[in-house]
Structure 1
């Protein structure tokens, strides 16, 4: 009995260990999917881990981050709150929840989270910076000022603290001291875009338009994705008669923020000035869809509709205004004029009688011409004054756009790479799709494998008949697609377990490995590929895909701050073995070149890219990456030529790279 009991306990402990291993693997794979920006898929993995062990905080935190990436700030905050309940001693959870609360304008809640995080990490100046921003948003200027005083003492070379102090002074109308703090901030860091934007606010307030335009140009050069900077520079350009430049700035602001009110409204006003009435109507249409009760936009659209001959539309707009402002005599006069043009004399006379009866000494329907002074005036956004209908709009309160610091680990948006090469080619079930419409990624060995599998396809296996594809940079999965592939993995696993001849059924092992890759589970994919190579040590496809898996695992392990499980050389060796078995496969040379390029072994990288291009002259990614390698090896002219060829073959990103690196010619 004692022996039996001991065996039972041993098996129970083994089962528990395996269950724990599976949960750890689920969490790890979820983190990998999160790192590679497959957020919906990562939520699937974390949800599975939560269903199995809801008392672990890691999957709650991981799922919260994935939801944060998908802009589900309410769900992300709820997951973070549960993670904190399970483990209140992990500071990064408070930081993530603070960011979720900021996105929901719950600044007091965010401050409480940053207070807690700073208890654990008092020397993290990014946390102090975000907390000050929250206090400024919460109008708690005294505490914000006290925090900034501490920051300036502790980090005397931290320029952003001086810049925030300057903003605080400006909000308290202390322009002189604000300028002094800004000077100090720019002295410490002349490449701070927000500091230049803050400096421009002083110039705009003083109507120093040329200075403001120059300062905003510097801010835009340093932070080109901030829509508010373009809106403010457009105002400065407008006031120095650079209408073309102002319109270009509004176009760019709308490209960055399609719902930007000021950009649409003011672009509409500028289009009126340059006679582009039809497109001005489009801008005011957008504003009214955004804010149906915006009477100034409705009035402007009414005038424009009347001008372009849409009289019934103009009457509708004038009627909307008159219903809100019964004594709006100009509107009544304009509507009467529209009625007369449509032959609706009776309605026109009713409007004209209302004006005659109510107005004694006012001129009917007269609109003064724009003077040089009036044309440069602006009005506040909330101001309703029909005499100012043709003026540009500014925010009620001038503020600088801020970017909050994200310092917690695993943040995808902080993975700023010095060089962005096109990714590796790999096996997948998802067709090649990266913008090169005319190119079909194919290989004879892949086609042969698909033909063999089609002959023995088992209809009971979900998606088992899907052929292997060759792809580059496969797209992220949505919820439905990710579930379909997870079901496919379960079905293939069942088939493999029941197989009486795994050597004959090894194709299912390879397919499962590819399915694991599609679902970002490179750990199990690598295990399957290694098992496949134990059965067939001459498989080009297995060596190729395993090299991809090893590379992805190594990249992810490095991002988590740990020691990579596999060396880069192991992936290179797998590709070398595959090339020895199939020396006419351009994708193998391309992938190996990518590994050499990543380690800055430019000579070997160029040799492999040359070989890939000699085999397949339409491989756009090879031209792109070879161009990047040449640029960084100092041969800019040939590098730009390669990038140009990649763009010619359909890679739009190549033109972005040309713009970035092409001006280095001859330097």
Structure 2
């Protein structure tokens, strides 16, 4: 009797009837396990694979499939044990090495995963997925060049491998090759015009290259394909904001919040846009919401501090800058702006201390030298003021800011 494995219920019924006739038929248990697995009954599949193994302890495929079922049931360690047993029985089992690599990767064993993918490739040099996954793991381990080589090999084997193009594009972008990244994302889109992620990633790359209009077009296409992509709305909003379309940016950030009301980044960016448009109260409200969702959001504290300071709430600004510093002790801008706020409130000593800390973190911080020089001058330390202002002038000149350098020189001329 020919069994239609596409008819999973029929297959299960057939093997269930056949097993009592020959209870030692390991293959019947194995095939029923496969049918249960395809039906989503992972526990039933595991039980049948186990019975097949009991009858035939050398049944590599049963160990392998039981490993897959365990993996999909969340038992990663059990999956590794089963796939390892399949490899012991059949050392040329490329798929077993590959899937053991996947499980090891999930458990954080990157080196072990790479070793298994490599073994799968050694057995089957045309194993595109093994090259692809090894590339992903290498990239996550910091080996960007090795990752790109693996993605390229996967593409050579399978020129229609859209995900390999996409991931190679991401890795190229992370390595600074923006043009190469855009070319890869474009190829992924050519292969799969409904690949929203490829449009999204190409939008990110175009934005990095300064092509805001192209970025907006790509984010829009990603949203058309997947209208619930909050991240695409966020990045389109940022591109619009950076292009001068503040209202459009706010609208996109609002849509991202509608999709995901717990999206701290969306509240933060909407706060930035509102602040730029002059709505300091609305900005503070959004930064506060971002902080409520993510109490470790240093940039939200920092920007709320700026908005409070610009609204005349100097004490509130200082408190927020202090919180940003507590979260990120290397936040030079937070020290600098707290110094500005302290100076405004009359605390010149505290301001000088904060400017000094900003300079310690970033020795090229021209504005910190400049403001520290002014604070020293106002505190009567003329020599210290001249030294800081001279340094500020040199840094401004080195950074191409001739206008600020000239302004500093005018102050020096008066000291």
Deviation at 1:383, TM superposition (A): 7.4
Structure 1 or 2, whichever has the larger Rg, is 1
Rounded Cα–Cα distance in structure 2 between residues aligned with 1:48 and 1:301:
60
Classify the secondary structure of the residue corresponding to 1:127: helix
Q: Equivalent of 1:251, from 308, 325, 333?
A: 325
1:197 is aligned to 268
In structure 2, do the counterparts of structure 1 residues 167 and 386 end up closer, same or farther at CA, with 3 Å as the change threshold? same
Q: Equivalent of 1:297, from 368, 371, 395?
A: 368
In structure 2, do the counterparts of structure 1 residues 170 and 318 end up closer, same or farther at CA, with 3 Å as the change threshold? closer
Q: Does 1:70 align with 2:133?
A: no
Q: Equivalent of 2:215, from 133, 137, 144?
A: 144
Q: Is the CA contact (8 Å cut-off) linking 1:250 and 1:264 kept in structure 2? A: no
Rounded Cα–Cα distance in structure 2 between residues aligned with 1:234 and 1:101:
37
Deviation at 1:302, TM superposition (A): 5.9
CA deviation map 1:85-133 (0-9, x unaligned):
2333333322322221232343332233223333454444333333323
Q: Does 1:20 align with 2:120?
A: no
In structure 2, do the counterparts of structure 1 residues 309 and 286 end up closer, same or farther at CA, with 3 Å as the change threshold? farther
The TM-score, its normalising length taken from structure 1, stands at 0.39
Q: Equivalent of 2:308, from 229, 232, 237?
A: 237
1:285 is aligned to 360
Rounded Cα–Cα distance in structure 1 between residues aligned with 2:334 and 2:381:
25
Deviation at 1:28, TM superposition (A): 3.3
Q: Equivalent of 2:110, from 31, 39, 43?
A: 39
Q: Is the CA contact (8 Å cut-off) linking 1:114 and 1:131 kept in structure 2? A: yes
- Correspondence 1:314-325 to 2 at 5 A: 320=391
2:404 is aligned to 384
Q: Is the CA contact (8 Å cut-off) linking 1:247 and 1:270 kept in structure 2? A: no
Rounded Cα–Cα distance in structure 2 between residues aligned with 1:382 and 1:36:
54
CA deviation map 1:294-342 (0-9, x unaligned):
433344566778999999988875665577799xxxxxxxxxxxxxxxx
Q: Is the CA contact (8 Å cut-off) linking 1:84 and 1:93 kept in structure 2? A: yes
Classify the secondary structure of the residue corresponding to 2:328: helix
CA deviation map 1:565-596 (0-9, x unaligned):
xxxxxxxxxxxxxxxxxxxxxxxxxxxxxxxx
CA deviation map 1:57-86 (0-9, x unaligned):
344333322232233333322332233223
Larger RCO of the pair (alpha carbons < 8 Å, separation 6+): 1
Deviation at 1:215, TM superposition (A): 0.7
Rounded Cα–Cα distance in structure 2 between residues aligned with 1:94 and 1:211:
42
The TM-score, its normalising length taken from structure 2, stands at 0.59
- Where structure 2 has 5 or more consecutive residues not aligned to the other structure, the ranges are 1-86, 410-415
- Correspondence 1:420-499 to 2 at 5 A: none
Rounded Cα–Cα distance in structure 1 between residues aligned with 2:255 and 2:214:
22
Rounded Cα–Cα distance in structure 2 between residues aligned with 1:202 and 1:382:
29
In structure 2, do the counterparts of structure 1 residues 191 and 262 end up closer, same or farther at CA, with 3 Å as the change threshold? same
Rounded Cα–Cα distance in structure 1 between residues aligned with 2:128 and 2:112:
19
Deviation at 1:212, TM superposition (A): 0.9
Count, aligned residues: 313
CA deviation map 1:549-571 (0-9, x unaligned):
xxxxxxxxxxxxxxxxxxxxxxx
Q: Is the CA contact (8 Å cut-off) linking 2:92 and 2:123 kept in structure 1? A: no
Deviation at 1:266, TM superposition (A): 3.1
- Correspondence 1:491-570 to 2 at 5 A: none
2:155 is aligned to 84
Rounded Cα–Cα distance in structure 2 between residues aligned with 1:175 and 1:86:
46
Q: Is the CA contact (8 Å cut-off) linking 1:237 and 1:245 kept in structure 2? A: no
- Correspondence 1:354-433 to 2 at 5 A: 384=404
Q: Is the CA contact (8 Å cut-off) linking 2:271 and 2:283 kept in structure 1? A: yes
Deviation at 1:287, TM superposition (A): 0.7
Q: Is the CA contact (8 Å cut-off) linking 2:321 and 2:334 kept in structure 1? A: no
2:23 is aligned to none
1:173 is aligned to 244
Classify the secondary structure of the residue corresponding to 2:169: helix
Q: Equivalent of 1:211, from 263, 282, 298?
A: 282
1:621 is aligned to none
In structure 2, do the counterparts of structure 1 residues 309 and 215 end up closer, same or farther at CA, with 3 Å as the change threshold? same
Q: Is the CA contact (8 Å cut-off) linking 1:129 and 1:161 kept in structure 2? A: yes
Q: Is the CA contact (8 Å cut-off) linking 1:179 and 1:199 kept in structure 2? A: yes
Q: Is the CA contact (8 Å cut-off) linking 1:271 and 1:280 kept in structure 2? A: no
Report the structure, 1 or 2, having the larger helix content. Answer: 2
In structure 2, do the counterparts of structure 1 residues 215 and 319 end up closer, same or farther at CA, with 3 Å as the change threshold? closer
In structure 2, do the counterparts of structure 1 residues 115 and 384 end up closer, same or farther at CA, with 3 Å as the change threshold? same
